[in-house]
Amino acid sequence: MTFDPFGDFETRGYLRNSAGEKDTAIVRRLEHTSFTTGIDDAFARLAKKKQLTYADVLDTHKILFEAVYPWAGHDRATTSPDIAVSRGAVLFAHPKSIQNAIEHGLKLGNDPKAMRGRPGEVMGYLAYGHPFLDGNGRTIMVIHAVLAQRAAFSIDWAATDKNAYLDALTRELDDPGKGILDAYLKPYMRPAVDNLSDHVAAAKGLDGGAGQADTVYGRNDDPAVQAQYMQQQFKWDDQCGGC
């Protein structure tokens, strides 16, 4: 089933992309072109920031995807505040909790010692926030790469296994703060690299190819959805204050 949070796929195409295109394979190619065109500018902007903030995450997404999506740079609290978004068994943060989750990840990531010791946990918070309707993985990869560089290391993404990484990430999101994704990523930690654009471009799966897609889990005013959020909140309360 096509991910259609706006409910207007037939009239405005996939996620209201600027071309009005319905063929998601074509949209993915447009996304990848936009991403590769904007990545140098994104890193240049971030290099000027002393500490990365939530606003920088939004700005990075805008730079990377504004050629495809008019809503680029706007989070789900703005674009789709009334729906819950999931992928497989993972229910992402409530729209009202997105910023809290991302900011907690950035608080850790902006601390070089914490970033070196818990790179997977930082990635977990950024992924759990899932701020955008599309382009989350690529945006977060750029942010994570900058945080890692400032902590004097890099992740050899080209050496990782996409399926194993996604499995570890899913387990991290299901059981946060237990070091699951840290354990997966630490063997791939390497010295810092100079060219972050080439480094991130070498990561597997950034072309938006085949993989599990987001789905609309339900409306946030549905009692069943609210109950799921509440159950999820218990897992995250101790980690980031209920993000």
CATH number of the domain within which 35 lies: 1.10.3290.10
Helix (H, G, I), strand (E, B) or coil at 67: coil
How far from 56 is each of 17, 106, 154, 226, 231, CA to CA, in Å?
Answer: 22, 10, 20, 30, 30
- In a domain? residue 88: yes
Structural domain boundaries, residue 183: 9-240
pLDDT of residue 94: 96
Q: Is residue 218 part of a domain?
A: yes
Q: For the whole model, what pTM was predicted?
A: 0.95
Q: Is residue 136 part of a domain?
A: yes
Residues 26 and 24: their CA atoms lie apart, in Å, by: 5
Number of domains in the chain: 1
Distance CA 121, CA 89 (A): 19
pLDDT of residue 207: 56
Domain annotation covers residue 1: no
Q: What is the pLDDT of residue 137?
A: 94
State how far the Cα of 65 lies from the Cα of 198, in Å rounded to an integer.
18
H or E segment at 230? helix 223-240
| 4 part of a folded domain | no
> Considering the domain boundaries, does residue 80 fall inside one?
yes
The set of residues, in sequence order, having a beta carbon less than 8 Å from that of 167 and lying 6+ positions away, is: none
| Residue 173 domain flag | yes
- The answer as to whether 211 is a domain residue is yes
- Residue 105: per-residue pLDDT: 97
Question: pLDDT of the chain along its 243 residues, tens only?
Answer: 789 999 999 999 999 999 999 999 999 999 999 999 999 999 999 999 999 999 999 999 999 999 999 999 999 999 999 999 999 989 999 999 999 999 999 999 999 999 999 999 999 999 999 999 999 999 999 999 999 999 999 999 999 998 999 999 999 999 998 999 999 999 999 999 989 999 898 887 665 554 678 999 999 999 999 999 998 888 887 777 667
